Amino acid sequence: MNKLLEEFIAKYKELVDREIAGELERRLVEVKSISPQLLKIVEAMKELSVGGKRMRAMLTILGYEIARADDNPPLQDIVKSAAMMEIFHLGLLIQDDFMDNDTLRRGVKTMLARYDDRHKADFVSMLAGDYTFGWGIEILSDLKMDPKIVIEAMKVWGKYFTRVGYGQTLDGLAIADETTIQQILEMKSGEYSCVLPLLLGATLGGAKPEMIENLKKYGMELGYVFQLRDDWLGEYGDSEKTGKPVGNDSREGKHTYATMNGKEKTEQVIKEHMSKARSLTSGLLSLPGDSRKVMEELVAWMGTREN
């Protein structure tokens, strides 16, 4: 990871981590008065929330900074939004783990692995994911920003929340062919991992339509790089670094770009999308500070990351 990207993450990561921990502590208090069984689930969610790259949070903040070009942003609200993206991501990961039959996540037992009864494990995983979606609506609707901007941001969140559900459905049906795998790459991960946080932050920052469209194109290419590298790591990575078993997709008979096309083809296509993403940054004019360089460094890191 290059210096500017490291500095950007260092500037915000602790604030985001603290906000995530605080939000989950509030939810622990909320469920404690209802049932110890719910407390057990949210405690597991808090354990699973620790660590990770916080990539979606950083992209939310980056989108906001690009849109505002403001030295004095309302930091508390944008950090809340960034933390919400990570909590939303946590919910999707919990659901993804039971769909993929994964028992480890970041070296920690998944929700699936915490119940001996598979039926219970499945429905608890599904509903725990749903908790985070409701929390997200609460967090966004409570932002102390211009209500019109908040509504526009919630529209962005709702749109891509739905689309990741479409992509997850296609993935779970195991019907992937050359056309469907592209749709899965776009909707299940590319859009929600990169397009959504960038556009959420930019919308909260009051970005104009042209900027939104340019960020969407860049985010989509970045999303391809991210998900294709994720598929590559799932098949050819180092489990010591990824915190997950390698080769699970092949063992489960799951179709990903890597399982369908092999190592060399996947690496080639990653490079192609990296090149497209880099070229799109040159079309973004008048970016504040080091934003363009951070965007370029994001491409390089996502295409070569080891976890």
Which 3-state string (H, E, C) describes the chain? CCHHHHHHHHHHHHHHHHHHHHHHHHHHHHHHCCCHHHHHHHHHHHHHHCCCCCHHHHHHHHHHHHHHCCCCCCHHHHHHHHHHHHHHHHHHHHHHHHHHCCCEECCEECCHHHCCCHHHHHHHHHHHHHHHHHHHHHHHHCCCCCHHHHHHHHHHHHHHHHHHHHHHHHHHCCCCCHHHHHHHHHHHHHHHHHHHHHHHHHHHCCCCHHHHHHHHHHHHHHHHHHHHHHHHHHHHCCHHHHCCCCCHHHHCCCCCHHHHHHHHHHHHHHHHHHHHHHHHHCCCCCCCCCHHHHHHHHHHHHHHCCC
Neighbours of 80 (CB within 10 A): 20
User: Is residue 83 within 8 Å of residue 16, measured between CB atoms?
Assistant: yes
- In this prediction the pTM is 0.90
Q: What is the pLDDT along the chain (307 residues), one digit of tens a residue?
A: 678 889 999 999 999 999 999 999 999 999 999 999 999 999 999 999 998 889 999 999 999 988 886 555 568 899 999 999 999 999 999 998 988 888 888 788 999 999 999 999 999 999 999 999 999 999 999 999 999 999 999 999 999 999 999 988 888 887 777 788 878 888 877 899 999 999 999 999 999 999 899 999 999 999 999 989 988 988 887 777 776 677 666 666 677 778 888 888 999 999 999 999 998 887 665 676 678 888 999 999 999 998 8
Structural domains of the chain, with CATH: 3-304 (1.10.600.10)
Residue 116 CB burial class (10 angstroms; 0-12, 13-18, ≥19): exposed
